[in-house]
């Protein structure tokens, strides 16, 4: 029974990424998972950010003989933003890098999702004030540009 519930949970992962949660941007595509991962990484670079982290269970699960849909978290940021965020709120820096989430859908397409930077930094708004809100707005625009480039 445990194996069945595990499989059902894994099958639900792509669906969870597609439901628009508060503060999330979700972009469905006709692209394959591998293509969307590559295009997202390229778009991050094109828009002046750096891929700082990448993590996902897909390859590790496959190495264990478990096949799950493609699933990768890509953390993006750059040092300019890191320094500026730190000037406003040391605590807010725990949110960096801000992450993109690429998920493979049952039909072979992929979805790009992310929490908007303004949503991510909202808990620190009182501490970071207007300068942090300005940084979050800039990052909202950057992340939207990355998403538009990656999904088109």
Domain range enclosing 31: 2-151
Q: What are phi and psi of 5, to 5 degrees?
A: -65, -35
Instruction: Check which CATH number belongs to the domain holding 64 and give it.
Output: 3.30.310.70
Averaged confidence pLDDT in the chain: 91
How far apart CA 6 and CA 132 sit, in angstroms, is: 40
Q: Model confidence over 40-89: pLDDT tens digits?
A: 999 999 999 999 999 999 999 999 999 999 999 999 999 999 999 999 99
Identify the pLDDT of residue 2: 44
Structural domain tally of the chain? 1
Question: H-helix or E-strand containing 136?
Answer: helix 125-151
Residue 115 clears pLDDT 60, i.e. is over it = yes
């Amino acid at each position: 029974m445990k194996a069945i519930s595990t499989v059902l949970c894994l099958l639900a992962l792509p669906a969870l990424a597609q439901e628009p949660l508060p503060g999330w941007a979700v972009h469905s595509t006709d692209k394959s998972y591998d293509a969307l991962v590559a295009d997202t990484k390229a778009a991050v670079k094109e828009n002046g950010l750096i891929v700082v982290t990448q993590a996902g269970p897909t390859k590790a699960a496959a190495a264990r003989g478990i096949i799950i849909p493609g699933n990768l978290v890509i953390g993006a940021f750059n040092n300019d933003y890191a320094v500026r965020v730190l000037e406003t709120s040391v605590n807010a820096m725990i949110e960096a890098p801000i992450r993109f989430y690429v998920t493979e859908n049952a039909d072979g397409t992929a979805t790009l999702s992310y929490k908007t930077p303004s949503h991510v930094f909202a808990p620190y708004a009182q501490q970071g004030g207007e300068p942090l809100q300005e940084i979050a707005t800039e990052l909202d625009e950057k992340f939207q540009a990355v998403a538009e480039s990656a999904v088109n």
